[in-house]
Every structure is written in C-alpha cells, then in structure tokens.
Amino acid sequence: MIKKKKILSILGSTGSIGVNTLELVRRNPDKFRVKALCAGSNVRKLATQIKEFSPALVSVKDEASLKALKKILGRGAGQRAYKITLLCGEEGAKKAATMAGVDTVVSAIVGAAGLVPTLAAIKKGRVVALANKETLVIAGEMVMKAVRKYGAKLIPVDSEHSAVYQAMKGHKKKDVKRIILTASGGALRSLPLSKLKNVTPAQALKHPNWDMGERITIDSATLMNKGLEVIEARWLFGLNLDKIDVVVHPESTIHSMVEFCDGSIMAQMGSSDMKGPISYAIGFPERVQGAKDPLTLSGKLLSFKDVDEKRYPALNLACHALTLGGSAPAVLNAADEVAVSAFLKGRIAFTSIVKVVEDVLKEHKVVKVKTIKDVISADGWARVEATRLIKTESKRYK
C-alpha cells in the first residue's frame, strides 16, 4: 500500500521546535510536506524556509514583519515565483492553523500567543502536534472540551508528555497510579543557592541537556517549566494533581514515567533530541525511522532525587495556581513570560522571576474561565501588573 504524505502546517517555524520539525521534513520528503508556515518576526530565517519548502501560505506576527518579509522575497526570484499567500497577525496565524488539506498542525509558537491559532485548529477537528504547552496551561479545561466536541486529536510534543503518552498506550487509565515527570534541574542545578541571585542570562541559558528556545530554557532553570508541564499533564491526561509527581533526573535519559496500580513503572528513554517526540507526534501512528540519534546505554547512569523546594519555589507556585483554578494559571503564565523577558534584559535578578510571578498572583482575584475572552483578559491583566511591579519595585527585584 502506498502511504499518503502527511501535510503539515507549522506554527512557530523559525523557533527551536519549528526548525527541528523542518529538519524531519527535509530528511523524510516521502513522508511529509509543508503547506503553511507561521512565525513571529525572524523574517530572514522564514524567507530561507519559504525558498526551501515552498509553502502555499505564510503568516508573520504583524504588519511590520510582513513588510520586511515581502521586501526580502521581492528580491531575487521575486515573491510571485513562490505562489504564496502572505498574511499577518492573529488572523493570519488562524488561517495557517486551519488551512484546508492540512493533516497535522504543529503548534510551536512560544507563549500565550499560541492559544488562539491552536484552538482554531482544534475547532477544525485537526490533529495537533502540541508543543505550545501554554495552550493547556492557560485554558486547559476549555481546550479539552473543544478537543472532545470537534473530534480533534492532541499529540504532545513536550518530551515528558510524549513519554507518558507512549507509556500509557495499551493501558487503562484506571490502572494508572501516578505519572512521574522528570526534570533535569536546568542550567543552575549545581550552583550554590547563595549565588543564584547574581547569575547572568548567559549562565541561565546554558541548559545541560537540551537545546531549546530562550523562555523554556530559563523556565527550566527555575523549574517553572516543570510547573507548567504539571498543569499541561493535568488536562492532557485528565489526572488530578495528586497523581502527578516530579522527580529530578539530571541525565534526562528517561523522559518521564507512568506507575501502574500493580507497582510496575513504564519509562520512556532516548537521547535528548526533540526530533524524537516531534517525529512521534507528526508521524503518528507510524514511527519515523532514524528520527534521532540512538541512545548509547553502555556506561549510562540513571539517578533520581526529590525536588529541592528552596532551590525551585516555582514548582509549588505553579501547583498552587492549578489548585486555585479559573484564571490563575493564565496569570501565572503571563507574569512568568514578562518576568523571564525582564531577566533576559537584565532588569531583574534571576531569583526575582518567581517573586514577580508570586506577587502578581497574590494581587489577582481569580475568576472563572469560560471563554477565550476570559483567558485573554486575565493574561492581559497579569502582563500589565507584572510590568508595573517590575518598574515600581525595581530595587526589590534587582
């Protein structure tokens, strides 16, 4: 039987996940084809991708990026030669997410900006390879309702959730005692606590095991990323918080585990290369041969330890936001996006990232989240509040 090529729409094509996805397409032209690309403002990289993958539709963040992209494409062969529809903004991203003829939408925009296009793809009943964890963090209950209502399929790209997804295959949810998400501990895991305050962005961006975008790398150093992943897992797998554990596993060899009621633990292992979980999601239900380098087992150590709450207060804070429910996780996420960006610009200390998020959350009056407007409103409030606090309390956060 001749298998049909999978047609992809890649949202966030210029980012770390997007580039890895395109590498898989490049290596497997018989399996995948790109129909739509969506990115932010890195129009140089996007133009190169357009030339190589010839998508039918391309969207960028805003008018300024669209103008810059048109200027680049206008040179040389000329834009018409590529026969593409060029769009921008949220509407453009939605068009890329819902384009006819697309089998799988790779949702890999960073941050809350990923929610609207991802939800649009879900409402079209698409298969979504979900890297944008923020979609489930900020609107998990609503998004999972839409998945059921529109018959969409969410396949996780986050390596931890991909591991759990794979380990659960063929098992009954009622037999799951708990899932165990592994955390590397991030770039600063060995630094004495007393030195954390003064770390530079360059230090915090040196992840020991994974090569990822800036926000997720900083979030890995604070462990906020694991907190967001706990919230993501809660909705994706429909498990309560008491069934989701986190363990520090510095080697990142085991990507996560599922413990069953009989005491058996299924662990999914592999090299630290996102092409593994991405290929699983875009190739599903087939596996993509040679998607990533094999893991050398000989001499490999596997070690585990409990999360040090003093070093990583972000994990408890994220679980607290999940327990508060309603708009709290959206506020947590938005405040973290602002705080991480402020740290990267040298405006606040590394240890103040979590303080800012905690302070914003304290000020927030939790409301129910029923519509996308409710999420956007909570997100917007948190961004304004976090920005205000960082400005007015600058001495305290430095």
Ligand X SMILES: NC(=O)c1ccc[n+]([C@@H]2O[C@H](COP(=O)([O-])OP(=O)(O)OC[C@H]3O[C@@H](n4cnc5c(N)ncnc54)[C@H](OP(=O)(O)O)[C@@H]3O)[C@@H](O)[C@H]2O)c1
Given the rule CB under 6 A, which residues bind ligand X?
12-18, 38-42, 61, 93, 108-110, 113, 131-134, 158, 210, 212-214, 216, 274
- Pairwise CA distance, residues 138 & 144, whole Å: 12
Decide whether 118 or 397 has the Cβ nearer to ligand X.
118
Q: Where in the chain does DSSP place strands (E)? A: 6-11, 32-38, 57-60, 85-88, 104-107, 127-130, 153-156, 176-183, 244-248, 254-260, 265-269
Residue 263, φ and ψ in degrees, nearest 5 = 95, -5
Amino acid in the structure at residue 168: M
Least distance from C-beta 217 to ligand X, angstroms? Answer: 8
Least distance from C-beta 7 to ligand X, angstroms? Answer: 20
Least distance from C-beta 110 to ligand X, angstroms? Answer: 4
* CB 95, CB 117: distance < 8 Å: no
Least distance from C-beta 329 to ligand X, angstroms? Answer: 14
Decide whether 232 or 359 has the Cβ nearer to ligand X.
232
Decide whether 375 or 389 has the Cβ nearer to ligand X.
375
Least distance from C-beta 193 to ligand X, angstroms? Answer: 26
Least distance from C-beta 84 to ligand X, angstroms? Answer: 16
Decide whether 21 or 327 has the Cβ nearer to ligand X.
21
Decide whether 13 or 389 has the Cβ nearer to ligand X.
13
Residue of this chain nearest to ligand X (CB atom): 15
Decide whether 244 or 274 has the Cβ nearer to ligand X.
274
Amino acid in the structure at residue 175: D
Decide whether 254 or 389 has the Cβ nearer to ligand X.
254
- What count of other Cβ atoms lies within 10 Å of the Cβ of residue 137? 27
Least distance from C-beta 155 to ligand X, angstroms? Answer: 13
Which strands sit side by side in the sheet containing 127-130, from one edge to the other? 85-88, 57-60, 32-38, 6-11, 104-107, 127-130, 153-156
Decide whether 88 or 389 has the Cβ nearer to ligand X.
88
Give the strand pairing for 153-156 and 127-130.
Answer: parallel
- Pairwise CA distance, residues 135 & 150, whole Å: 16
Least distance from C-beta 111 to ligand X, angstroms? Answer: 6
Decide whether 47 or 360 has the Cβ nearer to ligand X.
47
Least distance from C-beta 323 to ligand X, angstroms? Answer: 22
Structure tokens at 26: 């490049």
Amino acid in the structure at residue 84: I
- Pairwise CA distance, residues 308 & 373, whole Å: 37
Structure tokens at 126: 């698409």
> Which contiguous run of DSSP H or E holds residue 41?
none
- Alpha-helical (H) ranges within the chain are 16-27, 43-53, 63-74, 89-98, 115-123, 134-150, 159-168, 201-204, 214-222, 224-236, 275-283, 313-324, 328-344, 352-363, 372-392, 394-397
- Pairwise CA distance, residues 186 & 303, whole Å: 15
Decide whether 213 or 313 has the Cβ nearer to ligand X.
213
Least distance from C-beta 4 to ligand X, angstroms? Answer: 27
- Pairwise CA distance, residues 130 & 97, whole Å: 12
DSSP 141-170: HHHHHHHHHHT-EEEE-SHHHHHHHHHHTT
Q: State CA 229 to chain mean position distance.
A: 9
Least distance from C-beta 1 to ligand X, angstroms? Answer: 33
Residue 21, φ and ψ in degrees, nearest 5 = -65, -45
Decide whether 61 or 389 has the Cβ nearer to ligand X.
61
